[in-house]
Structure 1
Amino acid sequence: MIKFENVSKIYPNGHVGLKNVDLQIEQGEFVAIIGLSGAGKSTLLRCVNKMHDISSGKLTVNGVNVTQLKGKEIRRFRSKIGMIFQSFNLITRTTVLGNVLVSLVPELSWWRRLLGVYPATAKIAGLKALDNVGILDKAYTRVDQLSGGQQQRVALARTLVGDPDIILADEPVAALDPVTAKIVMDDFQRINREMNISILLNIHHVDLAVAYADRIVGIRQGEIVFDGPTSAVTQEIIDEIYQGHGSSSIKGSLEPVAAEVVVDA
Structure 2
Amino acid sequence: MIKFENVQKKYPNGFVALQDINLEIEQGEFVAIIGLSGAGKSTLIRCINRMHDIDEGTLTVNGTNVNALKGKEIRDFRKKIGMIFQSFNLVTRSTVLKNVMISSVPDLSWWRRLLGIFPKDAKIVALEALDNVGILDKAFTRVDQLSGGQQQRVALARTLARHPEIILADEPVASLDPVTAKIVMDDFKRINENLNMSVLINIHHVDLALEYADRVIGICKGKIVYDGLASKVTQEVLDKIYQKHEKG
TM-score (norm 1): 0.92
In the alignment, what sits opposite 1:250?
none
| Deviation by residue 1:63-92 (Cα, 9 ceiling, x = unmatched) | 100010110101100001000000011110
Tell me the SS of whatever aligns to 1:123: helix
Which residue pairs with 1:200 in the alignment?
Answer: 200
Structure 1 residue 244, shift from structure 2 partner = 6.2
Residue in structure 2 matched with residue 243 of structure 1 by the alignment:
243
- Distance in 2, Cα, partners of 1:36 & 1:5: 23
Gaps of 5+ in 1: 246-265
* Residue in 2 that maps onto 1:252: none
Residue equivalent to 2:124: 124
Name the residue aligned to 1:151: 151
Tell me the CA shift for residue 227 of structure 1: 0.2
Alignment partner of 2:153: what SS? helix
- Partner SS state of residue 20, structure 1: strand
Shift in Å, 1:142: 0.5
Written as runs of structure 1 = structure 2, the 5 A alignment for 1:10-49 is: 10-49=10-49
**Counterpart residue type for residue 18 of structure 2:** L
Which letter does structure 2 place at the counterpart of 1:38?
Answer: G
Aligned residues: 245
Q: 1:202-258 deviations in whole A, cap 9, x for unaligned?
A: 00000000000000000000000000011110010000000169xxxxxxxxxxxxx
Partner of 2:141: 141
Alignment-derived partner of residue 263 in structure 1 = none
Number of the residue aligned with 1:221: 221
Take 1:239 and 1:185, find their aligned partners in 2: how far apart are those partners?
A: 25
Structure 2 equivalent of residue 177 of structure 1: 177
**SS of residue in 1 equivalent to 2:94:** coil
2:86 aligned partner: 86
Distance 1:43 1:89 in 2: 19
RMSD: 0.8
**Alpha-carbon offset, residue 103 of structure 1:** 1.2
Query: Partner of 1:76: helix, strand, or coil?
Result: helix
Q: Tell me how far 1:137 sits from its aligned partner.
A: 0.6
Quote the residue 1:111 is aligned against: 111
- Percent of residue pairs identical: 75
SS of corresponding position for 2:152: helix
Name the SS for the 2:228 alignment partner: strand
- Counterpart of 2:168, as a letter, is L
TM-score (norm 2): 0.98
Unaligned runs of 5+ in 2: none
Report SS of the residue matched to 1:9: strand
**Pairwise CA distance, 1:15:** 0.5
SS of alignment partner, residue 45 of structure 2:
helix
Matched, 1:76 2:76: yes
The CA distance in 1 between the partners of 2:238 and 2:104, in whole Å, is: 40
Counterpart-to-counterpart distance in 2, 1:157 and 1:120: 17
* Partner of residue 253, structure 1: none
> Runs (4+) of structure 1 moved beyond 3 Å?
none
Cα distance between partner residues in 1 of 2:101 and 2:235: 43
